[in-house]
Structure 1
Amino acid sequence: MTTLTFDSLNPATGEIVGSHPKQTPDAVHEAVGRAQEAAAWWAALGHAERRRRLLDYKAVLAQHLKELAELVHQETGKPVGDATLELVLTLTHLDWAARNAQKVLGRRRVATGMIGLNLAATLEYLPLGVVAVIGPWNYPVFTPMGSIAYALAAGNAIVFKPSELTPGVGVRLAELFAESVPEHPVLQTVTGLGETGAALAADPRVKKVAFTGSTATAKRVMAACAENLTPIVAECGGKDAFIVDDDADLGAAADACLWGAMANAGQTCVGVERVYVVDAVYESFMRELSGRVSKVKAGEQYGPITMPGQVEIIKRHIDDATKAGKVITGGPGSVRAPYVDPVIVEDVPEDSPAVREETFGPTITVRRTRDAQEALSLANASSYGLGGTIFSRNARRATELARLMRSGMTAINSVISFAGVPSLPFGGIDDSGFGRIHGADGLREFARSKAIARQRFALPGMNLTSFNRGPAELERLVRLVTFLHGRRKR
């Protein structure tokens, strides 16, 4: 039988980067079967041995950093420098996951309380088995490895389905892993289109799915997972807000805002899309922003729109925004596929698609607000809740605004900085999804808690879990509980 293939293309040139098989449901089924066997072996190695091998994998990736960066550049179109930064961040997360898994997940004693005085209790987190990772194209290494690295460190085997736009990167990640772990296919990559990902999510032997993509696609993946009650981690993008308070360093704020909005051609789930500036500094901030954006060029500082279909969404949002608001930079003519030049529009109505829907392009809307509180209210009036940014010199006020922002992560006086801190969890709320990768939460996301209580000795006169229990024992229990818990706090 002839194997069907598909090509990955350089979005900037249209040239073929590589050809890959469209793996069928049968091929996916076989991969999951291999992963089941590999998972048992990998889990049995224990934390110390997995740590050694994952750190070796980190070294292998570092040795191939330039090669991988070039491949990311070819498949996404992003500059090699941006691809290199993505890989460096990946290495820091892989290192953290490997070094901290035992501390976070390993067996530990927990307190039993007075009622359990005769018990010894332990808690640990055990591997799930096979984890399916369905990755995106915008950060084809950093984003899926945020699940892969932590799931591997937790003792699971992985079947990775990369985006059909960046399959070569996914294939190479698995090939390089085999250099450090040659015995079993602990990390496998399957390539293909939607049918391949659907088959993977629907396999009952998969114990968890980590998905990154649109909210609409996440719902379809969840529906497939529901057939087998397979849990899912869903990271579904956002419409992140950037708030500039009246005491902010405006130069730094404008610089961070511009990079957060335009880097990677705006194709960043935690990228800046909405900007709210307090009235007292609005004009000054806009001068700073306008002065800087003139130096940012599509095809130089950032690459093309990787997914061709996204161009129409970006164009629709630009058309909508420019009709309703005031253009500061760019406009409908900024769309020259596959590139989109920077677009900044102010005074766009809050009910506009350009403000409500994820654009995923190098565009931002800017609005003047009375104060930081109004800015926060507008920022929170979104169905998304992934990341966000606060710029203010007042640390206490900035922290309080960050806490009240309805998002999974917030950066203060920086942009997207939380993604570079391996100990911080990453994920959203509402239409941005649920579950967490990165940090201790990310390790526990790919493990199951195991609680054990062992009776060390019998409590005299207090055999409560027996049909031989008498009224006297129950009375003693009531007196004890009343003594421990019956005093009201004033």
Structure 2
Amino acid sequence: MTALPVPLLVTRAREAAEGWSALSFREREHQLRRWAAELARARAGIVATICRETGKPAGDAELELVVGLEHVSWTARHAERVMRPRRVAPGLLAVEHRAVVVRRPLGVVGVIGPWNYPALTPLGVLAGALAAGNTVVFKPSEYTPDTGRALAEAFERANPGSGAVLQVLPGAGEAGAALCRAGTDKIAFTGSTRTGQAVMAACAESLTPVVLECGGNDALIVAEDADVEAAARAAAWGAFSHAGQTCAGVERIFVAEPVSEAFIAALTRELDPVRAGEHYGALTTPAQEAVVRRHVEDAVDHGGRFLFGGNGSFRAPGVIDPVVLTGVAQDRPAVHEETFGPLAVLRVVRDLDEGIRLSNSVPQALGAAVFSASADEGVAARLRAGMVSVNGVLTFGGIAALPFGGNGASGFGRVHGEEGIREFTSAQSVTVRRLRLTGSGVTRLRSPWWKRPLLRAALHRHRTPRDLP
């Protein structure tokens, strides 16, 4: 694919949007499902590309792609139902009219993807935007350009002649900034909070709406009635898979005091055989290693201690074995900031209530996990997080029907599921006059409005509400 100037890419996408949005839902569904089939056929090459660009093991890359295909397939099949026009009651004042809410595609969507999950994350976003009837200009991370290119090339192979429906914009930060100012109808960004703020500022110049997924600092809470072994397995995987480079991965662990010794022993058993370069890959960027080192050194300098691992965990550039710290004050960077590396901070708490309070004490509000035999949706309601797993970790990310996103410093808006389709639409309100009743309506200039029967009836209804105690 030849790199084109950003304005030209957006112009081509705008031209293609008319034809793409005019397709029936069934036709777009077929194109998206053919795309998923082509990605599955090209699996070996795409997995190899992900491994080369991110450093993750082949099994992790394959899992990433398979989950991404689930999102594409689900979105393709359900877009028509989600966008079906919805009838609403017109009310007494507009009784002559039929009232409908219609979801319309926005037009052209700019998608800025991350490097940590260069296939899964874009596929979920691209599927929602395309299924809703938009065309897309997609800027993959400069660290994973070939993975992004492979996704778009698979769409073209599956649907010959569709080139301008999904285009790739290569480049680094300056390309993303140009896309934000190029006149798209929405920008969907996944990345750091700092970059998300820059994206939002650039889009504000033209009032271009944004959906931002800016990472997290997620907690796993182990209550005193938890299955300790299951919680330890989940903590190990949630904190250290992909070297901890997961936006909704576990960074903070809160363990109720009655089960703390048993949990720490179980977590130690889980982590003892784990080695970077074997069970997970190296860090993708040198900058990320610098963050991990800074957080560890600061924590230890201020009274923190190694519960697992140590300075010897830093075995080679980018190759870091698991590190678990304890005794770290709440205001230290290792607790308050997102590390995005193979580091977890563990704290023993009195009970579930204290774990929830501390979980909610950071500015990020992306995901959370709770292990408890008695926990349910009620516990989730107390957590300031966009997504919660009870007796599991990261399970929400693998369910295509669930929306993905957070609040606070983790961003706003949602991708995946029904909300992820609606995110790339606008609501259009439509009224159609179907009756002509004498004395109704509010559009005639003749006679005072209070003399019209329906208006007088409405006023009387508000003066004498019958449904109030």
CA deviation string 1:183-240 (max 9, x = no partner): 2320111111211111111112x00000011111111111111111100011100100
The counterpart of 1:381, out of the listed 358, 361, 368, is 361
Deviating more after overlay: 325-334 vs 379-388: 325-334
The counterpart of 1:274, out of the listed 252, 260, 272, is 252
Question: Matches of 2:342 and 2:165 in 1, distance apart?
Answer: 38
Deviating more after overlay: 39-48 vs 467-476: 467-476
The counterpart of 1:305, out of the listed 254, 269, 283, is 283
Asked whether the 8 Å contact 1:463–1:473 carries over to 2, the reply is no
Question: Matches of 2:103 and 2:157 in 1, distance apart?
Answer: 28
Kindly provide the amino acid, as one letter, of the partner of residue 64 in structure 1.
A
Asked whether the 8 Å contact 1:391–1:398 carries over to 2, the reply is no
- Count of matched residue positions in the alignment of Structure 1 and Structure 2: 465
Partner of 2:181: 202
Q: In the alignment, does 2:91 pair up with 1:110?
A: no
Kindly provide the amino acid, as one letter, of the partner of residue 378 in structure 2.
E
Question: Matches of 2:139 and 2:243 in 1, distance apart?
Answer: 24
Kindly provide the amino acid, as one letter, of the partner of residue 334 in structure 1.
S
CA deviation string 1:107-160 (max 9, x = no partner): 232222333322111222111111000000000011111211110000011111
CA deviation string 1:10-51 (max 9, x = no partner): xxxxxxxxxx98x5xx61121111111111110011211101
The counterpart of 2:104, out of the listed 103, 109, 126, is 126
CA deviation string 1:320-375 (max 9, x = no partner): 22332221111233223121110011121111110001000011011111110011
Asked whether the 8 Å contact 1:315–1:332 carries over to 2, the reply is no
The counterpart of 2:207, out of the listed 210, 216, 229, is 229
Question: How far apart are residue 106 of structure 1 and its match?
Answer: 2.3
Question: How far apart are residue 487 of structure 1 and its match?
Answer: 2.7
Question: Matches of 1:469 and 1:67 in 2, distance apart?
Answer: 75
Q: 3-state DSSP class of the match of 2:187?
A: strand
Question: Matches of 2:450 and 2:468 in 1, distance apart?
Answer: 29
Q: In the alignment, does 2:40 pair up with 1:57?
A: no
Q: Which runs of 5+ in 1 are unaligned?
A: 1-19
Question: Matches of 2:186 and 2:347 in 1, distance apart?
Answer: 41
Q: In the alignment, does 2:150 pair up with 1:169?
A: no
Asked whether the 8 Å contact 1:425–1:438 carries over to 2, the reply is yes
Partner of 1:11: none
Write out aligned runs for 1:330-479 (5 A): 330-335=309-314, 336-394=316-374, 397-470=375-448, 473-474=451-452, 476-479=454-457
Question: How far apart are residue 464 of structure 1 and its match?
Answer: 2.3
Q: In the alignment, does 2:228 pair up with 1:250?
A: yes
Deviating more after overlay: 34-43 vs 178-187: 178-187
* CA gap 1:409/1:472 in 2 versus in 1, 3 angstroms: closer
Q: In the alignment, does 2:170 pair up with 1:191?
A: yes
Identity %: 45
Asked whether the 8 Å contact 2:112–2:141 carries over to 1, the reply is yes
Asked whether the 8 Å contact 2:136–2:165 carries over to 1, the reply is yes
Question: Matches of 1:59 and 1:415 in 2, distance apart?
Answer: 29
Asked whether the 8 Å contact 2:113–2:141 carries over to 1, the reply is yes
* CA gap 1:326/1:178 in 2 versus in 1, 3 angstroms: same
Asked whether the 8 Å contact 2:7–2:182 carries over to 1, the reply is yes
CA deviation string 1:88-122 (max 9, x = no partner): 10011001110000000122322223333221112
Deviating more after overlay: 27-36 vs 410-419: 27-36
Question: Matches of 2:134 and 2:300 in 1, distance apart?
Answer: 49
* CA gap 1:407/1:472 in 2 versus in 1, 3 angstroms: closer
Partner of 1:3: none
Kindly provide the amino acid, as one letter, of the partner of residue 307 in structure 2.
I
Question: How far apart are residue 78 of structure 1 and its match?
Answer: 0.1
Q: 3-state DSSP class of the match of 1:275?
A: strand
Question: Matches of 1:471 and 1:203 in 2, distance apart?
Answer: 48
Question: How far apart are residue 308 of structure 1 and its match?
Answer: 1.1
Question: Matches of 1:76 and 1:399 in 2, distance apart?
Answer: 36
Question: Matches of 1:464 and 1:113 in 2, distance apart?
Answer: 13
TM-score normalised by structure 2 residue count: 0.96
Write out aligned runs for 1:27-46 (5 A): 27-46=5-24
CA deviation string 1:444-481 (max 9, x = no partner): 00011111111111222224221113355356523334
Asked whether the 8 Å contact 2:93–2:442 carries over to 1, the reply is no
Question: Matches of 2:447 and 2:404 in 1, distance apart?
Answer: 50
Question: Matches of 1:274 and 1:170 in 2, distance apart?
Answer: 31
Q: In the alignment, does 2:129 pair up with 1:151?
A: yes
Question: Matches of 2:118 and 2:293 in 1, distance apart?
Answer: 24
Q: Which runs of 5+ in 2 are unaligned?
A: none
Question: Matches of 1:232 and 1:443 in 2, distance apart?
Answer: 14
* CA gap 1:462/1:353 in 2 versus in 1, 3 angstroms: same
Question: Matches of 2:85 and 2:23 in 1, distance apart?
Answer: 15
